[in-house]
Amino acid sequence: MSPSAAAPRACLQCNRELRADEPHVAVQDGLFCEACAGQLRAELARLEASQGDGVNYPLSAFGGVLGGALGVLAWWGFTVATQVSFGLVAVVIGYAVGHGVLRVGGYRRSLGLQGLSATIAALSFAVASFLVNRSFYNMSAVEQGFELLPPVVPLPLAIEVLKMGASPMDLIFLGIVLYEAWRIPAPQRLT
């Protein structure tokens, strides 16, 4: 007889000895009988389904907006301090929004929270892009003696300012921001 055949074959859950021909589920630490494995699978499925129970969307949205504001300030502040528009810093927006939605919302996870997080992140990215472009415009206007943009601009002018510094790389950074914001509040797969 080989050493592995002589090893005890007890279920990790109920400690019942398993016959060699009895159906079982093998895991890294040992074996489960079919009944115990079924109970564990059902419990994991119940836990997975309950991740989105009792979601407080207003509180999650507040957390997302708070995270978005911090991300916007991080990117804009970096730009103003260094006078360099380094788009990779924008990734902070997605991370901050996702964690704001998750943590302030009570660590709930659902598809709805993913959509909320991605929406807030996209809007935050647009606001940050506007502020970065506006800062560069005003820096250039001061050097050339042009009039500065007022603190509040009408929507058509805001769209023009937003398009001023647009590049294909912005789409890549936006994609990363959205990915992070979508990934963080996603339901965890337990089964």
Domain count, the chain: 2
In a domain, 128, yes or no: yes
Residue 8 has pLDDT above 80, yes or no: no
- Do 31 and 96 fall within a single domain? no
> Is 161 inside a domain boundary?
yes
* Same domain for 79 and 45: no
Whether residue 63 sits in one domain with residue 155 = yes
Residues 97 and 24 grouped into a single domain: no
188 located within any domain: no
Q: Which domain does 28 fall in, by range? A: 3-50
Asked if residue 67 and residue 10 are part of one domain, the reply reads no
Do 164 and 179 fall within a single domain?
Answer: yes
Whole-number pLDDT of residue 147: 86
Q: What is the pLDDT of residue 50?
A: 77
Task: Tell me what pLDDT residue 3 has.
Answer: 47
DSSP annotation string for the chain: --HHHHS--BBTTT-PBPPTTS-EEEETTEEEEHHHHHHHHHHHHHHHHGGGTT--HHHHHHHHHHHHHHHHHHHHHHHHHHS---GGGGHHHHHHHHHHHHHHTTS---HHHHHHHHHHHHHHHHHHHHHHHHHHHHHHHHHHTPPPPPSS--HHHHHHHHHHT--HHHHHHHHHHHHHHHHTTSPPP--
Give the model's confidence band at 2: pLDDT under 50 very low, under 70 low, under 90 confident, else very high.
very low
What pLDDT score does 115 carry? Answer: 97
| pTM, entire model | 0.78
Q: In this predicted model, what pLDDT tens digit does every residue of 110-162 receive, in sequence order?
A: 999 999 999 999 999 999 999 998 988 888 888 888 888 888 888 888 888 88
Q: What is the pLDDT of residues 21-62, one digit of tens each?
A: 888 888 888 888 999 989 988 888 888 777 878 899 999 999
pLDDT of residue 120: 98
Please check whether residues 64 and 148 belong to one and the same domain: yes
pLDDT (tens digit, 9 = 90+) per residue, 85-116?
Answer: 777 888 999 999 999 999 999 999 999 999 99
pLDDT of residue 7: 58
pLDDT recorded at residue 1: 40
Residue 62: predicted pLDDT: 98
